[in-house]
């Protein structure tokens, strides 16, 4: 049986407990932690076998050779450590030709030590650079182009992986009725530009998850091929960037397997507009039934993820001294946070106009030219009369078949304009050129239509493709500026 002590506590103890639970103690605790972190970056230890150089904003301020506990300015001074001991270097075996045109195997071995730490830091910065310099001077065949060829092949293969990732999104989007305006490859990876948003959470999820699935397949295939060529052990070593890997093909395949895993993990971060954020939006959309609310939720995750990357990048730069890594991570975080804010603003805007349809803003009396009309008739009756740069073209049943411009008519020789028809010179529309939109589509769909930006207007058609109206940029602008 449990016994509960109900003896009243003295007033002093009660007051002490309340004080410990108060916001004041929380603030004091935070200040204590910050102070501990500050003093943790103030003191450092110099072992007997190391020489330390202190740099401030990239410039050397002092050199420490005596061992012991030392002090530096926190968050400003950087500690560069160099080994005083003799360091070994073992170069790779290389083939050297003799006068008899025979090749012998030469194995290079060297021992070296840092005699002038300041000169060493100014020239090479760290031990890895020194070993690389020794490799260039002693341990490599300067006439070999294999390393450069491998670097080029690996770079192209990596971009091919990104392209396949985006093609995965594109193929699934097209199969679900979403047109693709193009695929852009750039410094952060790639993006498949969708012609419109998904119309259901299921479609959103399938499109978002397609890219990561392709990346998993690429990583598995690369690792499987590396294992088949050199064995599982070498495949694991190559995927860990181990220099002991034998075989150039295995090295490239191992690199591709690892870099695609990194790409997968990064893309699955639940930060919109990454794939993980789009998956989170699809799940939130399914649970709430509101796409705009789900977008705002995913965008909030994206902003938080971006701010976290910026904070981590600042820590790596200021505290750990990894300037390039920290700046790059902070830059990516800034990009994610900005993209998330844009998506959040777009969701709020879409929420204001979600009740407006194409039929609500179109001009219901479109002026169109029949495709069988002679070029001379179209020129005098339409272009000279209205002065517009282009007109929609319809067939005998009133279905939209294309667009004809003034330049297209003027390209026809004068003696042929009475016999040539408009249908022979028009730009034909097959339904995928971005020149048409359905009557029941939401107004938000128009904002991403390429035809609206290219022509300044877009044709509204019914379910059978019959031209029912024209939506101009001015009409869209008036609709979105009208208070909801």
How many Cβ atoms from other residues are within 10 Å of residue 128's Cβ?
9
Distances (CA, A) of 455 to 129, 470, 473: 57, 11, 9
Sign of CA dihedral 157, 166, 307, 448: positive
State how far the Cα of 84 lies from the Cα of 81, in Å rounded to an integer. Answer: 10
Residues 130 and 221 in one domain: no
CB neighbourhood size of 85 (10 A): 9
Residues 426 and 473 in one domain: yes
Residue 306 banded pLDDT, cuts 50, 70, 90: confident
pLDDT of residue 142: 43
For 318-361, give the DSSP string: HTS--HHHHHHHHHHHHHHHHHHHHHHHHHHHHHHHTT-BHHHH
Both 283 and 322 in a single domain? yes
Q: Does the CA dihedral 344-336-333-267 come out positive or negative?
A: positive
* Helix boundaries (H) for 21-100: 23-40
Between residues 350 and 243, which one has the greater pLDDT?
Answer: 350
**Active-site option among 166, 344, 371, 444:** 166
Region 364-376: mean pLDDT is 90
Average pLDDT over residues 342-369: 79
Q: How far is CA 8 from CA 4, 20, 340, 351, 478, in A?
A: 12, 19, 54, 57, 71
Between helix 291-318 and helix 275-288 the angle, nearest 10°, is 150
Whether the per-residue pLDDT at 218 is higher than 90: the answer is yes
How many domains is the chain partitioned into structurally? 4
- Per-residue model confidence as pLDDT tens digits over 253-286: 888 888 899 888 888 888 777 888 889 889 988 8
The first and second tokens of residue 249, run together, are: 């093909």
pLDDT band at 6 (very low <50, low <70, confident <90, very high): very low
The answer to whether residue 166 is catalytic is yes
Domain boundary among 353, 371, 389: 353
Average of pLDDT values for 397-424? Answer: 89
User: Following DSSP, what letter does each residue of 81-116 receive, concatenated?
Assistant: EEE-S-EEEEPPPEEEE-TTS-EEEE--EEEE--S-
Residue 441 belongs to domain spanning? 358-481
pLDDT digits (tens, 9 = 90+) for 421-473: 998 999 888 766 677 888 878 777 776 666 677 778 888 888 888 898 888 88
Confidence band of 188 (pLDDT split at 50, 70, 90): low
Residue range 317-354, pLDDT digits in tens: 877 777 778 888 888 888 888 888 887 777 777 667 76
Q: What is the pLDDT of residue 187?
A: 61
CATH for 473: 3.10.580.10
Q: Indicate the average pLDDT of the chain.
A: 78
Residue at which a domain ends, from 81, 116, 132: 81
Query: Looking at the predicted structure, is the pLDDT value of residue 216 above 90?
Result: yes
Residue finishing a domain among 47, 63, 81: 81
Q: Are residues 326 and 391 in the same domain?
A: no
């Amino acid at each position: 049986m449990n016994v509960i002590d109900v003896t009243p506590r003295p007033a002093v103890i009660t007051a002490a407990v309340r004080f410990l639970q108060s916001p004041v103690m929380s603030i004091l605790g935070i200040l204590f932690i910050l102070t501990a972190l500050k003093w943790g970056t103030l003191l450092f230890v110099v072992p007997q076998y190391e020489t330390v150089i202190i740099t401030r904003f990239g410039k050397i301020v002092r050199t420490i050779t005596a061992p012991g506990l030392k002090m530096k300015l926190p968050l400003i001074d950087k500690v560069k450590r160099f080994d005083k001991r003799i360091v070994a270097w073992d170069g790779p075996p290389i083939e050297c030709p003799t006068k008899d045109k025979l090749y012998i195997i030469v194995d290079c071995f060297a021992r070296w030590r840092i005699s002038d730490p300041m000169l060493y830091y100014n020239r090479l910065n760290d031990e890895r650079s020194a070993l690389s310099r020794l490799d260039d001077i002693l341990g490599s065949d300067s006439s070999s182009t294999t390393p450069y060829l491998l670097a080029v092949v690996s770079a192209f293969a990596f971009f091919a992986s990104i392209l396949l990732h985006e093609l995965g999104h594109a193929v699934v989007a097209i199969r679900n009725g979403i047109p693709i305006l193009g695929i852009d490859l750039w410094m952060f990876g790639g993006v498949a530009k969708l012609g419109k948003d998904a119309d259901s959470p299921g479609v959103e999820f399938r499109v978002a998850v397609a890219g990561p699935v392709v990346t998993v397949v690429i990583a598995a295939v690369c690792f499987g091929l590396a294992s088949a060529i050199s064995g599982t052990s070498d495949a694991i070593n190559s995927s860990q960037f181990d220099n002991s890997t034998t075989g150039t093909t295995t090295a490239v395949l191992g690199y591709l397997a690892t870099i695609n895993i990194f790409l997968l993990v990064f893309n699955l971060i639940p930060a919109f507009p990454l794939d993980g954020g789009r998956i989170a939006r699809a799940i939130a959309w399914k649970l709430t039934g509101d796409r705009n609310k789900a977008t705002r939720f995913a965008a909030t995750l994206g902003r938080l993820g971006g701010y976290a990357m910026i904070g981590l990048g600042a820590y790596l730069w200021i505290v750990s001294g990894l300037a390039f890594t920290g700046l790059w991570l902070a830059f990516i975080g800034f990009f994610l946070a900005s993209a998330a804010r844009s998506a959040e603003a777009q969701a709020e805007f879409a929420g204001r106009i979600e009740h407006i349809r194409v039929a609500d803003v179109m001009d219901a009396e479109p002026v169109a030219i029949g495709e069988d009309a002679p070029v001379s008739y179209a020129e005098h009756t339409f272009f000279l009369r209205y002065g517009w740069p282009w007109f929609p073209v319809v067939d005998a049943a009133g279905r939209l078949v294309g667009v004809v411009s003034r330049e297209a008519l003027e390209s026809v020789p004068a003696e042929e304009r009475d016999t040539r028809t408009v249908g022979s010179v028009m730009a034909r529309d097959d339904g995928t050129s971005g020149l048409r939109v359905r009557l029941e589509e939401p107004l938000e769909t128009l904002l991403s239509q390429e035809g609206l930006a290219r022509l300044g207007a877009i044709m509204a058609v019914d379910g059978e493709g019959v031209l029912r109206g024209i939506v101009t940029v001015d009409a869209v602008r008036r609709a979105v500026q009208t208070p909801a």
